[in-house]
Amino acid sequence: MPNSNTLPAPALPLDMIIFGGAGDLSVRKLLPALYMAHLHGNLPPSTRIIAVGRHTYDRAGYIEFVQERSQPFIEAKNLEPEAWQAFLGMLNYVAMDVNDVSSYAELARHSRPGVERAFYLATAPTLFTSICDNLAACGLVDSNSRVVLEKPLGHDLASAQEINLAVGRHFNESQIYRIDHYLGKETVQNLMVLRFGNGILEPLWRAPNIRSVQITVAETVGVGSRAGFYDGTGALRDMVQNHLLQLLCIIAMEPPVSLDPDAVRDEKLKVLRSLRRMSLGDIARDTVRGQYVSGAVNGEAVKAYRDEPGVPADSRTETFVAMRTYVDAWRWANVPFFLRTGKRMQKRLSEIVIEFANPPFSIFPDTPRNAGNRLVIRLQPEESIQLQLMAKQPGSGMTMLPVSLNLDLQSAFSQRRAEAYERLLIDVVRGRLTHFMRRDELEAAWAWADPILEGWEELRERPLQYTAGSWGPDASAALLAREGFSWME
């Protein structure tokens, strides 16, 4: 049944056309998300989903593939037989070579006239230009069309600009949805409310009240089947340039004048343009690159990155990055932002830690070294917000210990919590651009990241080794320790 937050359906029927429709992303994320959107009444009743791929499925074969491969990614409690069969009835499949313009005649035959078309490009970015050119050549792009671009959006600033230019030849900026699934997470969207819906925090949300900001996105998984892609990409391109910078923008942005998409994205752009550019000396001092060697994760032995299938034996690709950066603005003057991400880490964890300044003077003789208050915003594995305060330890004396005020977002609200891709796909259907990157945002992020990548090449330093199942190279802890900080682990 639709929930109480269901929005009115769009006026036109929807054809959702997924390029890469039999790929890993579609199987694990997109199709389950579209089913959940259908189950809860967030798709137009006459929606059709057309998967495009190289496999030679017919419609029945593709439906069988979806039942076998995608259904396991849907929780059993949500698999309502009638709804699932209705969802399967929406599916179709077109086998084609996306680089061959003549193949698009078959796609045009399957897509209905007079509908809203959403093209989801779940393919390598090298195919984006060809797909958009061919869609336009076959008359499939009009004012009711939208295109969703999956990351990575380029390898550097020049390639990102090339993609933006190619897509922009056929789609207006208001029709382009550059997706970053982190922006679909409930807690990430809650950051806007936390910051701008609570008067108690706004006066404190600035220097010198905030001493530091930490953003960690740690993964326990290795590269798996993505080795071919990952070794040419690395952790900075794969995670920092998009996910971590988007989190930083929401933490550091000024209040937008409204929730209009461009008002929000204007403020995020200002943050990206205010990020301090790193000189070669800054890069050598304030960044740490790592690459995991064999170890144990969750009690299971795992191989080194260079022993993963498809990874060259002499690979210099980083699987871990830690860095210190600054936002050169009045609100954040001299406040360090510490960013960290890595694969094969000790724990799967995504969180933001706002460390408030210590009291100017302590009357308590046994004050801990880091007695400041912290706001801990956890995105995964569970979503929660904690405010850490100091309290007296029971007993004689005045010894202080940190205690937490917890907002458990799982239990605070009874409504179902949609997954990130489901929420963002609904935004695509509804035409809401707020949680998608604008062209100038993307290019500003690359303009900041490119000099770091170039600096690493110039320095010619190999990534530091760290044991799989650890928190990264020792240099990561030293990066903070020399400034009197420590990672919250």
Confidence of residue 313 (pLDDT cuts 50, 70, 90): very high
435 noted as active-site residue: no
pLDDT at 85 over 80: yes
Structure confidence at residue 370 as a pLDDT band (50, 70, 90)? low
Nearest of 344, 342, 347 to residue 307 by alpha carbon: 344
Q: What is the pLDDT of residue 314?
A: 93
3-class secondary-structure state, position 232: coil
- Tens of pLDDT, residues 118-133: 999 999 889 999 999 9
Handedness of CA 235, 238, 239, 241 (dihedral sign): positive
The predicted-structure confidence for 404-432, as pLDDT tens digits, reads as follows: 888 776 666 667 778 889 999 999 999 99
In order of their start, the domains of the chain are 14-150 (3.40.50.720), 183-415+438-481 (3.30.360.10)
b/e code 93-103 from CB counts within 10 Å (16+ = b): bbbbebeeeeb
pLDDT for 367 beyond 90: no
- pTM of the shown model: 0.92
Q: In which band, very low, low, confident or very high, does the pLDDT at 366 lie, cut at 50, 70 and 90?
A: low
Question: Does the pLDDT at position 6 exceed 50?
Answer: no
Name 120's Cβ contacts closer than 8 Å, sequence gap at least 6.
16, 17, 18, 19, 30, 147, 148, 150, 428
Residues 6+ apart with CB under 8 A from 23: 53, 122, 123
Residue 396 has pLDDT above 90, yes or no: no
| CA 57/CA 307 separation, integer angstroms | 35
Residue type (1 letter), 395: G
Tens of pLDDT along 25-43? 999 999 999 999 999 999 9
Q: Single out the catalytic residue among 155, 170, 243, 435.
A: 243
More confident residue, 388 or 234: 234
Tokens 């408030």, residue? Answer: 356
